Structure 1
Amino acid sequence: MSLITALPGSLSTLSAAFALVTAALAHLRARRAAQLAAGAALVEQPRRLRDYTLLRTTGPDGAPVHYTTTRPHGSVITHQIDGRPRDFELTDLPLGDGTYAAEPL
């Protein structure tokens, strides 16, 4: 087979492969951009100030101890109780008094 007769078939095969790779890369780029946009929307949500009741704690007056923060639920905070540091996990469980529960760890 001569080079002149094999050249058109090889060029069409390479052109088709190039078109497929270009389309696949464009699809992946668009998909990645959509994922980044969705992730940015989650990150950019404004934080709200929330009051938490530290469960199983009482202040000097006998009332439950409250903690106010903008941290999201799932965060762990350290609070001094009777002069000792104790860790609490913030939850998204609302209590009857309008605060959210912070569970001791």
Structure 2
Amino acid sequence: MPQFIDVPGLVSSIVGAGVLAGATATWRWMRARDAGEDEDSTPVGGARSLRRYTLLRTTGAHGSPEQYETTWPTGTVITHRVDGGHPRRFELTDVPLGDGTYAAEPLE
């Protein structure tokens, strides 16, 4: 009676598919980990997190730099009123500062 199933070929196909699936899962995991190194980073098309930015070269009521909270992504340009209500533009960056906030660079 002839053998209808090529057992060694079937086993090697299953092992190959498992290796390919494992490599793909590892690649996706590493890619997601690299994109998510920062807990507050925003995935493209996903929900945004609230971030606190320190507005560089500003002074608040107690002499410390002013801070701004937003869900806008990195690279967004905002207008914030400083020094008695004068509008000033800032670009939100992904540069972390020592106090746990991120830098917002003045554009002017």
TM-score exceeds 0.5: yes
Q: CA deviation at 1:55?
A: 0.3
Partner in structure 1 of residue 45 of structure 2: 44
In 2: Cα distance, 1:96 partner to 1:43 partner: 27
Aligned 1:26-65 pairs, distance under 5 A: 43-65=44-66
Deviations 1:43-78 (A, max 9, x none): 421101000000011112101100000000000000
Corresponding pairs, count: 64
Runs of 4+ in 1 over 2 A off after TM superposition: none
Deviations 1:8-62 (A, max 9, x none): xxxxxxxxxxxxxxxxxxxxxxxxxxxxxxxxxx642110100000001111210
Greater Rg by CA: 1
Q: Secondary structure at the match of 1:91?
A: strand
Matching residue within 92, 96, 99 for 2:98: 96
Percent sequence identity is: 69
In 2: Cα distance, 1:92 partner to 1:43 partner: 15
Partner in structure 1 of residue 27 of structure 2: none
Q: Secondary structure at the match of 2:61?
A: coil
- TM-score by length of structure 2 reads 0.57
Matched to 2:79, the amino acid is T
Structure 1 unaligned spans of 5+: 1-41
Root-mean-square deviation over aligned CA pairs? 1.0
Structure with the larger helix share: 1
- TM-score by length of structure 1 reads 0.58
Structure 2 unaligned spans of 5+: 1-42
